[in-house]
């Protein structure tokens, strides 16, 4: 059962917080509001007198205060996390409870898909790794970055530095000092570089882009590199159904898609990246430049007919094999692309598209002239706000939850898809 099934999806509008500046304690300032996924409350970092910090949640300040606090994020299951420092040591606070283990530093909070697992990269005594629900990896490394937590929360991985490197030691670097660690255990193989590790659907395998020499890029799966050498490669993804690995690779000055080391899409693109499989593994989509400066979405090797100077935020539907993305002209004139068609609206900014669980509807938060609203299936909600957060769909896909700020109040609107008329 997803957390959303417990949310209130009764159609209608409610003001859930009538004063965003409300705070149960005297404060110096309140920072940016973060709204819970269900839209029922708001959290802000509260700077208290005497350089103390805490979180104000719906105006109520956590009991515990800290020397520093940052990166407040709600987990998908509605718990509020923040990174906190006390007496020079850092850790994660979840709903006001700090993890027992403390670290030299902590950052970049990660959540499993359902939100039941919370992880973060940590540094302890100059050693790096991940901590999962407060428990750090048994082995830490000289460096660990590009961290990830699997969707089911069962596994973590990071690119790690397996060997020491003296200052300006280019020789050792080129012999290879990087690897990938999964749940703290490093691959046997080392590479000149490892980038963009990715889990398969069951978090049992990991693929990453690697560089074997300064010029030889390829993909490594569970530490074993493909034979093929490419001029460059971006991050790989697994086909959730077949376990095949797809990665954009560069050959003879153009980009194509390699699947399991074979060219699936011939190298004919000026750019190719952000590929994603539909959950059934039936389709592979990616953002591509069909010519210099002309970007679009390519599905199974075939480009859509419309191009934009910039395309971002490729999103695949949970079911139904539908694909959406955003197009823009140098960060203005944002448009929503859906299944090869362009919605009519143009916006100053648009946020990542959100699919309904049944794949039937698509909603996007947009901004025009400083006013925000949500657009669903190409039609805008008739009301605009000072700020909208990411929309969400009811589990049956028929209603949209709009979380918005207007007049210093947090509004929570549940609107049937039919209510989007603009």
- Which stretches of the chain bind other proteins, using CB under 8 A? 28-29, 31-32, 47, 51, 68, 70-71, 104-108, 121, 123, 128, 143, 145, 161, 167-171, 173-174, 178, 192-193, 195, 211, 214-215, 217, 231-232, 250, 252-253, 270-271, 273, 289, 291-293, 295, 309-310, 312, 328, 330-331, 348-349, 351, 387
Q: How far is the CB of 401 from other proteins (least distance, A)?
A: 19
- The pair of three-digit structure tokens given for residue 336, joined into one six-digit string: 């929503």
Cβ distance to other proteins smaller for residue 201 or 207: 207
Q: How far is the CB of 213 from other proteins (least distance, A)?
A: 8
Closest CA to 385 of 400, 375, 372, 401: 372
Cβ distance to other proteins smaller for residue 63 or 369: 369
Q: How far is the CB of 157 from other proteins (least distance, A)?
A: 15
Residues 6+ apart with CB under 8 A from 220: 180, 187, 189, 191, 194, 207, 208, 209, 210, 226
Cβ distance to other proteins smaller for residue 1 or 166: 166
Closest CA to 182 of 196, 199, 195: 199
Cβ distance to other proteins smaller for residue 210 or 246: 210
Q: How far is the CB of 123 from other proteins (least distance, A)?
A: 5
Distance in angstroms (rounded) separating the CA atoms of residues 353 and 395: 17
Distance in angstroms (rounded) separating the CA atoms of residues 374 and 369: 14
Q: How far is the CB of 114 from other proteins (least distance, A)?
A: 23
| β-pairing verdict for 262-269 and 245-251 | unpaired
Cβ distance to other proteins smaller for residue 108 or 422: 108
Cβ distance to other proteins smaller for residue 3 or 273: 273
Distance in angstroms (rounded) separating the CA atoms of residues 320 and 361: 11
Cβ distance to other proteins smaller for residue 79 or 387: 387
Distance in angstroms (rounded) separating the CA atoms of residues 198 and 414: 35
| Residues 117 and 91: beta-carbon distance below 8 Å | no
Q: How far is the CB of 393 from other proteins (least distance, A)?
A: 21
- Angle CA(222)–CA(220)–CA(284) in degrees, nearest 5? 100
Distance in angstroms (rounded) separating the CA atoms of residues 218 and 227: 8
Q: How far is the CB of 202 from other proteins (least distance, A)?
A: 27
| Residues 155 and 199: beta-carbon distance below 8 Å | yes
Residue 171, classed as helix, strand or coil, is: helix
């Amino acid at each position: 059962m997803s957390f959303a099934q417990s949310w209130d999806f009764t159609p209608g509008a409610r003001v859930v917080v009538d004063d965003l500046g409300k705070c149960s304690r005297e404060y110096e300032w309140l920072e940016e509001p973060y709204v819970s996924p269900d839209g029922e409350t708001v959290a802000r970092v509260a700077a208290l007198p005497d350089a103390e910090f805490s979180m104000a949640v719906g105006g109520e300040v956590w009991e515990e205060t800290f020397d520093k606090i940052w990166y407040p994020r709600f987990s998908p299951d509605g718990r509020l996390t923040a990174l906190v420092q006390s007496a020079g040591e850092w850790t994660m606070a979840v709903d006001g409870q700090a993890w027992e283990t403390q670290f030299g530093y902590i950052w970049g909070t990660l959540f499993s898909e359902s939100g039941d697992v919370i992880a973060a990269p940590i540094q302890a005594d100059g050693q790096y790794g991940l901590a999962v629900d407060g428990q750090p990896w048994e082995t830490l490394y000289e460096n660990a970055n590009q961290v990830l937590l699997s969707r089911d929360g069962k596994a973590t991985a990071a690119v790690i530095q397996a060997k020491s490197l003296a200052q300006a030691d280019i020789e050792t670097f080129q012999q290879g000092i990087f690897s990938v660690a999964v749940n703290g255990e490093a691959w046997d193989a080392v590479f000149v570089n490892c980038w963009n590790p990715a889990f398969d659907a069951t978090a049992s395998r990991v693929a990453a882009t690697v560089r074997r020499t300064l010029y030889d890029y390829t993909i490594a799966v569970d530490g074993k590199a493909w034979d093929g050498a490419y001029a460059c490669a971006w991050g790989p993804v697994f086909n959730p159904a077949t376990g095949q690995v797809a990665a954009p690779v560069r050959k003879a000055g153009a980009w194509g898609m390699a699947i399991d080391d074979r060219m699936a899409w011939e190298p004919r693109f000026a750019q190719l990246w952000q590929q994603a499989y539909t959950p059934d593994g039936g389709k592979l989509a990616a953002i591509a430049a069909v010519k210099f400066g002309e970007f679009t979405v390519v599905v199974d090797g075939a480009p859509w007919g419309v191009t934009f100077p910039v395309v971002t935020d490729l999103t695949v539907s949970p079911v139904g094999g539908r694909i959406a993305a955003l197009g823009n002209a140098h960060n203005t004139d944002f448009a929503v692309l859906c299944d090869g068609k362009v919605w009519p609206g143009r916006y100053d900014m648009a946020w990542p598209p959100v699919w309904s669980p049944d794949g039937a509807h698509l909603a996007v938060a947009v901004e025009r002239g400083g006013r925000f609203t949500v657009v669903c299936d190409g039609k805008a909600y008739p009301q605009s706000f000072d700020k909208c957060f990411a929309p969400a769909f009811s589990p049956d896909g028929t209603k949209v939850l709009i979380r918005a700020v207007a007049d210093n109040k947090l509004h929570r609107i549940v609107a049937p898809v039919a209510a989007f008329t603009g």
